[in-house]
C-alpha cells in the first residue's frame, strides 16, 4: 500500500502531465474513476492498456505495482476534489 508521500508524488506527476483541476472538471462521465480502476488492475510496467482506459494511448504509463497503486489513489483523489468543486 502506498503511503501519503507516494500518493502526493503521483498527484504532482499527474498534474504536470495535464490532469489539472480545469481539465479534470471536464471529466463528467467517470473517466477519473475508470483511470484509477485501470491502474489498480495493472500488475507491472508491462501491463497492457485496458480497453476501458479513458484517455489517450500515450497517457497509459504503468510502473511497479506500488507505483500503480499510488497512481490509482491519485486519480481517486482528483475525482473526489472534482466532485467537491462541483457541489
Cβ proximity of 45 and 66 under 8 Å: no
- The CA distance from 64 to 44, in Å, is 5
Location of C-alpha cell 473517466? 31
pLDDT at 68: 98
Residue 19 grid cell: 490532469
28 CA to centre of own chain = 15
Each residue's pLDDT, cut to its tens digit, for the chain (87 residues) gives 789 999 999 999 999 999 999 999 999 999 999 999 999 999 999 999 999 999 999 999 999 999 999 999 999 999 999 999 999
pLDDT at 35: 98
Residue 10 grid cell: 503521483
- The CA distance from 5 to 11, in Å, is 10
pLDDT at 2: 87
- The CA distance from 35 to 50, in Å, is 10
pLDDT at 52: 97
- Please choose, from the candidates 27, 45, 33, 29, the residue with its C-alpha nearest in 3D space to the C-alpha of residue 74: 33
Amino acid at each position: 500500500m502506498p503511503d501519503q508521500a507516494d500518493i502526493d508524488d503521483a498527484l504532482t506527476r499527474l498534474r504536470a502531465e495535464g490532469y489539472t483541476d480545469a481539465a479534470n472538471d471536464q471529466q463528467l462521465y467517470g473517466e477519473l474513476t475508470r483511470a484509477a480502476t485501470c491502474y489498480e488492475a495493472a500488475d507491472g510496467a508491462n501491463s497492457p492498456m485496458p480497453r476501458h482506459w479513458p484517455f489517450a494511448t500515450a497517457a497509459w504509463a504503468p510502473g511497479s505495482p506500488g507505483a500503480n497503486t499510488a497512481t490509482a489513489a491519485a486519480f481517486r483523489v482528483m475525482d473526489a476534489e472534482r466532485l467537491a468543486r462541483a457541489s
